[in-house]
Structure 1
Amino acid sequence: MQRRAAAIYVIFFVLVAIGAYSLTTVAQQPSVSVDGQNYSQGDTIRADGTQWTVNVMDGEGNLSSVNESARFTGSLANNSSLLFSEGEYRPAPNGSGGGAGTGTGSASPSASPGGPGTPGTTGTGVSTGEGASNDSATRFLVAVPNASGSNGSGGNATNVTSFTLRQQFETSERLREDPSVADVTLTAENGTQYVRYRNGTSQRLDEYLPAPEVRNVSVGDSFPYKNNSTTVESINTSGATLTWEGRLTRSQDFEEGTNVTLGGTKYVAHFPENSTLTLSENVSGYQAEQAAVAGFNNRILGLWGIVIISLFAAVLIIALAYMPVRG
């Protein structure tokens, strides 16, 4: 009697498993099909005056555009450092100050009639190169007149039309290279620094250092900055604004279902084939179809769960039915 009942339950669970499996074989998965423009590899799209090139491969891709005359801007902060080498300036690495002996010689901004890249007051040029990959780079400090308010204007300078680049010296490096002086400076109680000669004499540091090279840069000057033909657009007490033209490449990467914005219009990316891209404005419709596909897949997973559980229950019942009974 026990095995007969077990056989009935086994048949029941097997029939349930067969029924669930049958449903998985006949169910039709909904497809995603949205209206839109189709594109292939190398096709172009023009939106708001920008031409985009379509790149598609293996069900994903990107849109790229190139502007050969894009306008870029940069800034030079007051009291920041620049390195000058091979006729061009570049930002000095952070945390690499010019040492205790920045240019404190007798040169003044008014003594420098030259433009950027043209030496004004000629001092004894010193290679400083600290923190730079090129040991021949010379360090300059950006200084905006009246930026500190030292002239009594309270720091609110107006009509600033130029700034200066004042050469900086790496004091410790110069002292190490000079065999006639000690490697360190002495500081008096009033803060004045001195160079100590090995013969026992000393000299003020600002007198020991050569006159720094000073260069004037005005609004409208061409400024050789980071491999660009740059123009000084404006100057204020915080620093200078630079502008230049160059090549700008923009790219938007996408895959199935990614939102893409072109010319202010939002599209959804769909790949009916691996080498074909469809851009559709019907974003909500695409999302609804994707939700239907996800719901279908969840139901299929549920049916497979029924198949597995039913077959497991049938096997378990058979095993229990044929277990030996004591007595």
Structure 2
Amino acid sequence: MQFRAGLLYIALFAVVAAGAYGVIGAAESPEVTVDPADADYQLEPGQEFQLNDRTYNATDVGADSGSIEYVNESAILETEWSDGDTVELEDGTEYDVMIDGGNETDGGNETDGGNETDGGNETDGGNETASASSFVLVESFSEDEYETVERDGEQYIVVSEGGDEVLVPLLEFEGLETQTYELGDTIAYNDSDAGRIIEGNITDISSDTVTIEYVGESSTTYDLTDGEVATIGNQEFGVDFPEEGTVYLTSDVESFETQQEEITHFNERIRGLWWVIAIAVTTIVLLAALAYMPVRG
């Protein structure tokens, strides 16, 4: 009796597992798609399109991913030079950047009133540290050309005069060309990375860096993935790759996300059926073991 009852339940759970597996095999997963008529943009590789008065380019369109690029040809860009950097100006001459904010003393130690009880020793101003308002470009040179030494943080050129060695401050040495720049000045230099001459304005000078602002080209890339929502500029689009080399963009994100929710719901049901199969198979194994257990008496 125990054996026959076990076989009956085993058959029942086998039917349940087979039914769940059959449903999984027959079920078709929904897909997120965009009807060509509903697509705001149908793009191929290299195709340009207008969005909010900007021109974008579909630089890469694959089977299920791609990218959109926007190039701003009049972007405000910045570059920084640090104290000691070597730069090349538009005439091809290389210069070393020298920035010296210096210490500005206003008033020093001022005594008013001698040793009087009222007034005593009065100090007005003290030592103030002023930020740099200018910097100097010094023509670059090698150690083979000139010998240099440093004294109290200042560089000197060693010059021979009448058999004696004389130290001439670097900025006063006539053998090297120097150029002084201040805030707001215009400067043109060679950008080796961009491969062109850049003309910019000096917008900031700190104790160890110089900031130059200029108009240049800046690009922004937006990645596209099939079935997902992408933000291009400030606008959201549903993305669909119907075939390799073609991408549809739709601004109807609400219906696009509804399709995504349907896919999520479908996957949840499929996972539930796999759990049914797993539980049914586990139960079958357990029932088979119990059915073959010997009965006392």
Q: Is TM > 0.5 for Structure 1 vs Structure 2?
A: yes
The 1-side partners of 2:155 and 2:31 are apart by 81
Please point out which of 178, 181, 188 is paired with 1:223. Answer: 188
Judge conservation of contact 1:24–1:300 (CA < 8 Å) in 2.
yes
Q: Which residue of 2 aligns with 1:41?
A: 44
Aligned AA (2:44): Q
Is 2:26 the counterpart of 1:58? no
> Could you give the per-residue CA deviations for residues 109-158 of structure 1, whole angstroms, max 9, x where no partner exists?
xxxxxxx8598xxxxxxxxxxxxxxxxx6533145xxx446374966789
Q: What amino acid sits opposite 2:68 in the alignment?
A: L
Aligned to 2:10: 10
- The 2-side partners of 1:164 and 1:12 are apart by 91
Residue pairs, 1:279-298, within 5 angstroms: 279-298=249-268
| 1:10 counterpart letter in structure 2 | I
Q: Is the 8 A contact 2:86 2:97 kept in 1?
A: yes
Gaps of 5+ in 1: 90-115, 120-136, 179-183
- Aligned match of 1:166 in 138, 145, 170? 138
Quick one: which amino acid aligns to residue 18 of structure 1?
Answer: A
Deviation at 1:261, TM superposition (A): 3.2
Aligned to 1:74: 78
Q: Distance in 1 between matches of 2:222 and 2:130?
A: 44
Contact 1:229 1:244 (C-alpha < 8 Å) held by counterparts: no
Distance in 1 between the 2:240 and 2:276 partners?
A: 33
1:24–1:303 Cα contact (<8 Å) kept: yes
* Cα 1:26/1:82, change in 2 over 3 Å: closer
Whichever structure has more strand as a proportion of its residues is 2
Task: Give the letter aligned to residue 136 of structure 2.
Answer: T
Q: Supply the distance in 2 between the matched residues of 1:226 and 1:194 (Cα, whole angstroms).
A: 30
Is contact 2:97-2:137 (8 Å) kept? Answer: yes
Structure 1 residues 30 and 234, CA gap change in structure 2 (3 angstroms): same
Q: Which amino acid aligns with 2:219?
A: T
Q: CA deviation at 1:194?
A: 10
Map of 1:141 onto structure 2: 98
Indicate yes or no: 2:278 matched with 1:308.
Answer: yes
Residue 250 of structure 1 corresponds to 220
Q: What amino acid maps onto 2:83 in structure 1? A: S
For the 8 Å contact 1:82–1:142, the answer to whether it is kept is: no
- Matches of 1:234 and 1:207 in 2, distance apart? 26
Are 1:193 and 1:204, in contact at CA under 8 Å, matched by a contact in 2? no
Structure 1 match to 2:115? none
- Residues 187 and 200 in structure 2, CA contact (< 8 A), matched pair in contact too: yes
Q: Measure how far apart 1:290 and its partner are.
A: 1.1
- Report deviation, 1:45: 1.5
1:18 to partner: Cα distance: 3.0
Distance 2:75 2:256 in 1: 38
1:83 maps to what in 2?
Answer: 86
Unmatched tracts of structure 2, length 5 or more: 108-127
DSSP-derived class of the 1:291 partner: helix
- Offset of residue 73 of structure 1: 2.9
TM-score by length of 2: 0.66
CA distance in 1, matches of 2:57, 2:266: 36
Offset from partner CA, 1:198-239 (integer Å, 9 cap, x none): xxx996755799925422346554421424423342455536
Deviation for aligned residue 1:255: 0.8
Q: Distance in 2 between matches of 1:192 and 1:41?
A: 62
Residues 1:210 and 1:229: Cα distance change in structure 2 (over 3 Å): same
Question: 1:263 Cα shift?
Answer: 4.8
RMSD: 4.4
Q: What is the alpha-carbon distance in structure 2 between the residues aligned to residue 307 and residue 252 of structure 1?
A: 43
Q: Please give the TM-score of this superposition, normalised by the length of structure 1.
A: 0.61
Q: 1:29-70: CA deviations, max 9, x gaps? A: 334244433523233211233221223102100012345x43
Q: SS in structure 2 opposite 1:231? A: strand
- 2: CA distance, partners of 1:275 / 1:318: 55
Aligned partner of 2:248 in structure 1 is: 278
SS at match of 1:73: strand
